[in-house]
Chains A and B, each alone.
Chain A
Amino acid sequence: MPDKDTALLNVTGLKRYFDVSRPFLNRVFERQKRQYLKAVNGVSFSIKRGETFALVGESGCGKSTVAHLVVGLFPPSSGKIEFDGINMTALKNRAQLRPVRRRMAMIFQDPYASLNPRWRVSNIISEPIKAFGLINGRQAIIQRTSALLEQVGLSPQDSSKFPHEFSGGQRQRISIARALAGEPEFIVCDEPTSALDVSVQAQILNLIKNLQTKFGLSYLFISHDLAVVRHIADHVGVMYMGRLCEIAPVNTLFQNPCHPYTRMLLDTIPDIEKMGNECAPPQGEIPNPLSPPSGCAFHLRCPQATDHCINNRPELENIASDVKVACFQARS
């Protein structure tokens, strides 16, 4: 039995740059340099066994890229991803990666794009089973897919249908069944409910939570919705322009946000409980990620920014035993 308190996933100094340069000839004639989009720019966090770590941030902050890097959809530009002590970035070929891949799975954002429209549900769900060679024999696989469908609240009869015969919420259940098929320990959820209506979102969130207690799963939960994060997460990391600006346990973060960006996010969410009262909306927009501002990336919109913030970039540092903040103001 593995130790409960050890980290299952350890991410250190993760970076991913995308080459967004113009084509070669254009660069030569227009005398431009290569351009890089720093989607993820030095992100470190760890996830303990059985806990849910949420990454929140606005669109374009790099949270989805982190998710894709963790499951190995593309390699990081630099940095290390350790899963249960195995350094994934050192594993090069498919055969080495396979045992690690079986232990993690992913649930996607768009239930209309994440299931192959030409495949029957039974084939979709059994794909990981066959790929990892978990179960052999037709009958056994049919039994397993039926069991999986029942676990996510669908009926075994649904297995011969095609994805278009289901509603968005039901498709997301199929997607979850596929993620469970490989018997993973760790699931990356990339905005699993942002394409769904609230009542369906509640069903899916409840399902995700119940499965966690049932199978002892650990989650990396990506979302832009702080209310969802509050409901589901144990630890939260707030991302802004490719960097983490705050990591804290969920209750600490919501009751006592330390980074000005976190505070701004919390203030701006339309909330059914602070009805009608007009709060001053935040200033400014997210800067162009191709030319990020100097110093602290948030200084342009920060009400507390000083000259120090404009010129120097704050590092993520502990201000309490379990709270890390990247802000000069929060430290003093």
Chain B
Amino acid sequence: MLKVENLTIRFDTRYGPLTAVDDVTFEVRPGEVFGLVGESGAGKSLTGQSIIGLLDPPGYIAGGQITLEGTRIDNLAYNHLRALRGRKIGMIFQDPLTSLNPLYTIGKQLTETILTHSSMTNAEAQKQAIALLTDVGIPGAGERINCYPHQFSGGMRQRVVIALALCVNPQLVIADEPTTALDVSIQAQILSLLKRMCREHGAAVILITHDMGVIAQVAQRVAVMYSGRLVEIGDVRQVVKHPQHPYARGLMGSIPSLHHQVDQLTQIDGTMPRLTDIPSGCAFHPRCPDCFDLCKDKRPPLKKIADSHIACWLYANEAHHAG
């Protein structure tokens, strides 16, 4: 349904252009939850922003294309882009306080969004807003529709944001770290709500997060990003239980487990490179335990191996044999 092909996002600085997202290709199927994980600075949020056309300057799309149901959406004029936002793609941000306008009641914000994208009357829109709020689990939605965002708690606000994102039945919802600002017990509520609502509305979700646990619980497929590049895409079971790429393997090993105690966590030494000095070849090679000469010189392409796609020279030969 959504296809992102060879997406490259650059920032022009006075030191020259910095490539923040480099040649990223993936697709999202209708109705699925697609996870995008990576550590801070991996470019996952930028990828999400570019899909909905919210990339802030000086960042810009330097290459590749994004298509939604066969229509290119990465080079739309502002008017078309506005129609697209909300109507076809909804967005849920990390901080619910900043994504709601503090000066309007939540009812006003909801009905306004519904009215912009449909031909309902005011009363109908009001009615639908109340129905939606009840649906996302806000008790007494009829009265609370006249409340301002600051009168809600963090978890309730995120529920309102979900209602706002889904109010015109978009085909795709981009959730950028939707639960990072919330406590675990509230996070569980919001995640299960997000999953249920999107299933009921038939929307696909791109879930952007740094938390592998969240991905494991909610997503069906997952893409792992490292310094602006995709390193592994695959079925969530496959990626979480049997990660192939050395980075994904290290990432999974570094998560402390709830079920058994280990003496030492697997650690990936070093840190993610800054955008100003991304290493040659495979960006992960200076930290990779399995690095060999080829990794330093040439960047590995994303190759299909079994059900996953992996960008690593370790598996390049297998790909040849397989296909």
Contacts and interface: CB of A to CB of B under 8 A. Distances in A.
B76 interface: no
Nearest to B191: A270
State the 6 A-B residue pairs at the shortest beta-carbon distance, nearest first.
A202-B254, A270-B213, A197-B39, A231-B256, A268-B188, A58-B183
Interface in B214-258: 214, 216-218, 236-237, 240-241, 250-258
Contacts of B214: 270
B189 interface: yes
B205 to A, nearest CB: 14
Interface stretch (A37-45, A114-122, A137-145, A203-211): A203-211
A48 to B, nearest CB: 19
Contacts of B236: 275-276
Interface stretch (A63-71, A178-186, A277-285): A277-285
A202 B210 contact: no
A278 B192 contact: yes
B39 A199 contact: yes
21 contacts: A167-B271, A198-B210, A199-B250, A203-B268, A206-B264, A209-B264, A227-B213, A230-B261, A254-B259, A265-B184, A265-B185, A266-B258, A269-B184, A270-B188, A272-B212, A272-B255, A273-B257, A274-B217, A280-B192, A281-B192, A285-B156
B211 interface: yes
B121 interface: no
Main secondary structure of the interface of A (DSSP, over half): helix
Interface residues of B, number: 49
A251 B185 CA distance: 22
B268 A231 contact: no
A11 interface: no
B187 A270 contact: yes
B262 A231 contact: yes
A205 B251 CA distance: 14
A225 B256 CA distance: 10
B268 A202 contact: yes
Interface string B200-216: 00000000001111101
Given A198-B39, A276-B236, A224 B254 contact: no
Given A198-B212, A270-B211, A270-B213, A230 B251 contact: no
